[in-house]
Amino acid sequence: MGYEMLELATFAGGCFWCMVSPFEERQGIHSVVSGYTGGRKKNPTYKEVKSGTTDHYEAVQIVYNPLIISYKELVEVYWQQIDPTDSEGQFTDRGSSYKSVIFYHNEVQRIEAEGSRLALMESGRFKNPIVTEILPASEFFRAEEYHQDFHKKNPFRYALYRRARKEKSFRGNTGQKTGRL
């Protein structure tokens, strides 16, 4: 087997359940893990993160091959999953742990993310300001096992959740669908 240079990408965009599938469907993705990042507590639990007391975000960490899928492409997939104008969470998920953030792992990722956010701001697609933050990556903690691949383990419950999220996305600040859910 040949040598592969793998990289990390980390995105927060509401409930991590809905962030896994859109990425894992892409060529060049080796894994998508649900977890918590950006906070101040080691090994937080879901209950602690959801309470808002740890300052963590629900996020996904992606291991990818940049020779097959670029970081820029990953950022574009990310924008299609969120409402970048919502400062209180995402869709039906409310609270600080559900805010949208791009966590960069190196200077190239920071530049790509900032350029992509600027292009989105200048596109005129949204009437409200883009509030998605771009922050340096910090320690990532894998979420409890029942959160991993939730869409595969609980397809009916996941479908209901996605439907509620999709309905909420149609009420975004543009009067149009805000993401490609």
Catalytic positions, written as ranges: 15
Buried b / exposed e over 110-143, threshold 16 CB at 10 Å, is bebbeebbeebeeeeebeeebebbbbebeebbeb
Q: What are phi and psi of 87, to 5 degrees?
A: -90, 0
In sequence order, the β-bridge partners of residue 140 are 37
Cα–Cα distance measured from residue 152 to residue 175, given in angstroms and rounded to the nearest whole number: 32
Helix (H) or strand (E) run with residue 29 in it:
strand 29-37
